[in-house]
Amino acid sequence: MTTIAVEQRILNANDQIAAENRAALDAAGTLAINVMASPGAGKTSLILATAARLPADVRPAVIEGDLASRIDADTMTAAGIDVVQINTGGSCHLDAPMVRTALPELLAGRPDLLFIENVGNLICTAEFALGSHLNVVVASSPEGHDKPYKYPGMFAAADAVVLNKADVMAVFDFDVDFFQRGLAMVNAHAPLFVVSCRTGDGLDAWVAWLLAQRAQS
């Protein structure tokens, strides 16, 4: 019982700070997207491909979450995107206090979209609220078509799912229908976007959806 009580206090404190983060984002007019995926699914590639397709008057910014290094942050900087790196030092997820440390610097520029690239894993990232407006899960064909069945909590928390690396589906015998049925079982409302960040296929529909969410916020 003590363990449960401590965990509840941690999550309650996190949720309070997440609410403060959301208020700061709303005050800045910034739509925040929590991007979650396993390592290598293509979170960074999706953010870069999305930024390249945004209208000129829509400015993105990024929070990069990693255990160590700033490789992805340097990639964002090279693309001309404002970015703050958060190294968790071993923690398998970002939390609201971590995100709060990055907001003053990024929100000073009043970006229209803030992508929060969470630490790569399909388990605990969905359990910690950050204050974001949208949760987006990125899956990829090399991972296999069984992920919604094996990680239902992650996909149940998604506002949208992006299935990346569509250009190599045949190589991995990826069954899109099976994947989509699994997604529908745990989350009947999240749209599925089948894309290839390498070729650009499917990205226009994803970007149009994202811009529509911004217009509604």
Tens digits of per-residue pLDDT, 153-186? 999 999 999 999 999 999 999 999 999 999 999 9
What's this model's pTM, rounded to 2 decimal places? Answer: 0.94
Tens digits of per-residue pLDDT, 83-114? 999 999 888 999 999 999 999 999 999 999 99
CA–CA separation, 164 and 47 (whole Å): 12
Q: What is the mean pLDDT of the chain?
A: 95
CA–CA separation, 66 and 39 (whole Å): 10
Q: How is domain 2-62+91-216 classified at the CATH fold level? A: Rossmann fold (3.40.50)
CA–CA separation, 41 and 164 (whole Å): 7
| Per-residue pLDDT band at 12 (split at 50, 70, 90) | confident
| Per-residue pLDDT band at 1 (split at 50, 70, 90) | very low
* CA neighbor of 201 nearest in space, from 163, 173, 174: 163
Q: 3-state DSSP call for residue 139?
A: strand
